[in-house]
Amino acid sequence: MEWIPAKLRTIRQEFNMTQLEMAQGSGLSQRDISQLENGRKEGLPKEFIHFLHSRGVDLNWLFTDPAAEEVRPAASAPKKYVSDEALPTLAAEDQVVGYGASPKSSGSATRSAELRLVAQEQLAAYPKRCSEPAYPQHLPTWHLPLPEVQQGVFRAFQLPDASLAPVFAPLDWVIAQAEAPGATPQNGVLYVVVTRQQLRVQYVFTTPEQPGKLQLRPTAEAATTVTVAQAEVVELWRVTGRLSFQLPTVPFPASTLEASLQDLLSRVQRLEQGR
């Protein structure tokens, strides 16, 4: 079905995503995306179908021959590639779908973004395994129906330590958007910086005196700095939000406690005088 590659390329371009971003979001490799768009790979993998579906792609449009669309009457004009309707939820057991096959579906769900979660126990292995095409599929998934995470590739990372306290609690999560390979980070912005050896959640700074180097700090004012060569960075994620399951502690003012004790003492004294 020769129209599939062109439609896949159109979808990616309309989402304003690179092939690498599309690969990271779907769990495929960049090579897989390139081969699909150039017609050198037959069949759409299950995880790629789920990714397109979660982004609101009209699968009927994707698998329909454009020649057949052109001869339809106006009353039944083909839908645009992103559907405005509530989309069916794909069955978990769906297998690889060929170009000529119709994907199975059941039920219904509102459109939402698929957010992969990297918990504390996975942080140590993540730098070594993040480049494996199938690795993201082993990460827990959370479907988040918020417009803030609809455009681009997002991932949630649990903080590895308490270095960002008191702004972040030790077990908080940060939601971060993938940056393009080789992108220059913004000064003073919080990033998830992944090298082959380590994953760090730090504020990033660059200076003209050290081109090609990233200075990482736990806070913007911190004197302690870790320097990382930008060429060593395999993934760069800009933090855009947070998830916290810990409520802030509101201290009880000492002056209020003292006033309450004074009031109690006055009442006791009045009771004793009335006897």
DSSP-derived secondary structure letter, 148: G
Could you give the domains of the chain?
A: 3-109 (1.10.260.40), 113-243 (2.10.109.10)
| Highest mean pLDDT (candidates 150-159, 163-172, 195-204) | 195-204
- Minimal CA–CA distance to 152: which of 179, 173, 116? 179
- Minimal CA–CA distance to 190: which of 151, 159, 234? 159
Tell me which residue has tokens 């494996």: 132
Query: What does the pLDDT read at residue 55?
Result: 76
Tokens of 90: 């794909």
Query: What does the pLDDT read at residue 73?
Result: 44
Rounded Cα distance between 186 and 203, Å, is 9
Confidence of residue 24 (pLDDT cuts 50, 70, 90): confident
- Minimal CA–CA distance to 41: which of 108, 98, 117? 98
**Helices first, then strands: H and E counts in the chain:** 8, 11
Q: At what angle do helices 30-37 and 3-14 cross, to 10 degrees?
A: 130
Residue environment code for 60-84, b if the CB has 16+ CB neighbours within 10 A, otherwise e: ebbbbeeeeeeeeeeeeeeeebebe
User: Which element (helix H / strand E) includes 53?
Assistant: helix 46-54
Three-state DSSP class for residue 263: helix
- Whether residue 83 has pLDDT greater than 60: no
Tell me which residue has tokens 């504020």: 203
Rounded Cα distance between 204 and 176, Å, is 14
Query: What does the pLDDT read at residue 228?
Result: 93
- Whether residue 173 has pLDDT greater than 90: yes
Query: What does the pLDDT read at residue 125?
Result: 93
Q: What is the mean pLDDT of the chain?
A: 78
Average confidence (pLDDT) over 74-82: 42
C-beta separation of 221 from 245 below 8 A: no
C-beta separation of 192 from 177 below 8 A: no
Query: What does the pLDDT read at residue 111?
Result: 56
pTM of this prediction?
Answer: 0.53
Rounded Cα distance between 198 and 163, Å, is 15
Q: What percent of the chain has pLDDT over 70?
A: 79
Over residues 219-275, the pLDDT tens digits come to 877 777 899 999 999 999 999 999 888 766 666 566 666 777 777 788 777 777 776
Over residues 186-226, the pLDDT tens digits come to 999 999 999 999 999 999 999 888 888 999 998 877 777 89
Rounded Cα distance between 71 and 169, Å, is 59
- Whether residue 150 has pLDDT greater than 90: no
